[in-house]
Amino acid sequence: MRETTLDALWTNFCKQLAEARHVLVRPGAPRDALSQAEGVRYLSRLTRAALDSLVESADPDFPRLFQMSNDTIKIGGDNPDNVYWNATIAGDRDYRICGNRGSVPYLSFGTKANRFALDGGMVSTGELEDTKMHFEADGSFEIIVSRTAQGGNWLPMSDDTSFLLVRQTFLDRAAERPASITIERLNGPVMPRPLSSDWLERQLGQAASFVKVTANAFAGWAKLFMTRPNELLPWDQDIFQKVGGDPNIHYLHGYWRLSPGEMWVIETDVPQCRFWNFVLQNWWMESADYRNIPSAWTNINKARLSADGRLVIVVSEEDPGFGNWIDTCGHAEGTALLRWISADRHPVPSCRLIGP
């Protein structure tokens, strides 16, 4: 047997991974110790997500559910009220998803095609929501994922579909039970191919590249939002949809910056909607540590509205004693995101600073 050693591939991967460091000193990136430390941690989190996705979960013949983001992997304005599951699939195959509904208020399935090479976008190729699905009395369900229409629960794909996204939105995570989900390919090969070094070299290269490209893409967004500080604006919704945004969601992104003792006050009407939330993020567009910090974000379930039905959010170091307080979590600047979900209109909040 031919002798081979692959240590050089590991060295190369580590070298490529190191390239991502330059995002930390991009023009506009905050240079305070906290933002820099969180930036380094963010690179470590992107590394985990990239390796899990591209090395362990990349074979559409043996789809594996994984989490691209979770409580400690935060990417591009991740939603603290959501649990996401992803799987790599392919449009020319058929799949079966089985599971149980649980008690989560919102459950939906989407298939996506990566058309970045064609028109710079990630497009939806099929959507299926809980309200359109059939469940058994015990909450169990089955979905067929395919290009051709099926009876029963059907999630469409197109020829170039490349991944599955499962979204669950919670009102109160501690009280609600998430759905359980499994996926399998139908009529596929029985066993995975043995691991090949060529394939692995390519996947490791893609993983290192993912870390660099993703970090820079969202740094670019933050830079854009910095042109209108301390506002929440619709910008061009196409930007957010093209990277896989949920078509039911209207996104209001912003950049904030406060002097010591200053408060950012956000006021708005609340439209008729299925859900809304407001999340304060660091400059890297990571949500704050919502598992341990209750005032890191607010939503339709947690917030209190004023007597006239308006929503007042106050972003500050300490609880100001009015409105819904959002903790800056030690930051002097960062990004923020307000989502209107399945809303009948999309009001733009009025924002102002109150001095110390």
Partner 1 sequence: MDDITSRLTRPTDPQQADASLVHVWRGFCDQLAEAGEVLLRPETPKNALDQAEGLRYLSRLTRTALNMEVDSSDPDFPRLFQLSDDAIKIGADNPDNIYQQAVVSGDRDYRIWGKRGTVPYLSIGSKANRYATDGSMASTGEIEFSSVKVDENGCFEIIASREPKPGRDWLPLAEDSSLLIIRQTFEDKKRQIPAEIYVECLSRLPAKPLLTPETITTQLNKAAAWVKGTANMFADWSEWFKQEPNRIYQQKDQSVWYRAGGDPKIWYGHFYYDLKPDEALVIEVQPPRCRMWNVQLDNWWMESLDHVHQKIWVNSSQATYEEDGRIIVVCADADPGFGNWIDLAGHRQGTGLWRWIEAESHPVPTCRVISLKR
Residues at the site binding partner 1, with contacts judged by CB under 8 A: 1-11, 13-15, 17-18, 20-22, 24-25, 30-34, 36-41, 43-45, 47-48, 51-52, 55-57, 62, 64, 71-72, 190-192, 194-197, 200, 204, 207, 260, 289, 291-293, 329-333
263 CB-contact burial (10 Å; exposed 0-12 / middle 13-18 / buried 19+):
buried
The CA dihedral of 155, 245, 342, 67, to the nearest 10 degrees, is 70
Nearest distance in Å: CB 33, partner 1: 5
Q: How far is the CB of 51 from partner 1 (least distance, A)?
A: 5
Helical ranges in 135-294 per DSSP H: 197-225, 237-241
Give the single-character DSSP code of 308: T
Those residues whose C-beta lies under 8 Å from the C-beta of residue 148, and which sit 6 or more positions away, are none
Kindly state the DSSP code that residue 20 receives in the 8-state scheme: G
Question: Minimum distance from CB of 333 to partner 1 (Å)?
Answer: 8
Q: How far is the CB of 332 from partner 1 (least distance, A)?
A: 3
In contact, 109 and 116? CB cutoff 8 Å? no
Please give the sequence-ordered ranges of beta strands (E in DSSP) within 21-100, or none if there are none: 82-88, 94-100
SS3 188: coil
Least Cα distance to 356 among 276, 278, 262 occurs for 262
Encoded tokens for 99: 């599971």
Residue 268 vs 287, nearer CB to partner 1: 287
Q: Is the CB of 206 or the CB of 342 nearer to partner 1? A: 206
- Closest CB to partner 1 among 148 and 292? 292
Distance CA 142, CA 161 (A): 20
The residues facing 164 across adjacent strands are 87, 111
Q: How far is the CB of 159 from partner 1 (least distance, A)?
A: 26
Q: Which is nearer to partner 1, 1 or 137 (CB)?
A: 1
| Closest distance to partner 1 from the beta carbon of 118 (Å) | 30
Closer Cβ to partner 1, 191 or 307, answer by number: 191
Minimal distance, residue 181 CB to partner 1, in Å = 15
User: Least separation, in Å, of the C-beta of 174 and partner 1?
Assistant: 10
Report how far residue 182's alpha carbon sits from residue 179's, in angstroms, rounded to the nearest whole number: 10
Cα-flanking dihedrals φ and ψ of residue 111, to 5°? -110, 145
Q: How far is the CA of 231 from the CAs of 26, 183, 345, in angstroms? A: 22, 42, 19
Which residue lies nearer to partner 1 by CB, 2 or 304? 2
CB of 31 to partner 1, least distance (A): 5
Q: Would you say 14 or 348 has its CB closer to partner 1?
A: 14
Q: Which is nearer to partner 1, 63 or 126 (CB)?
A: 63
What the block records as the tokens of 242 is: 């093209």
Is residue 40 classed exposed, middle or buried when 0-12, 13-18 and 19+ CB atoms within 10 A define those classes? exposed
Comparison of 133 and 296: residue with beta carbon closer to partner 1: 296
Distance CA 316, CA 352 (A): 12
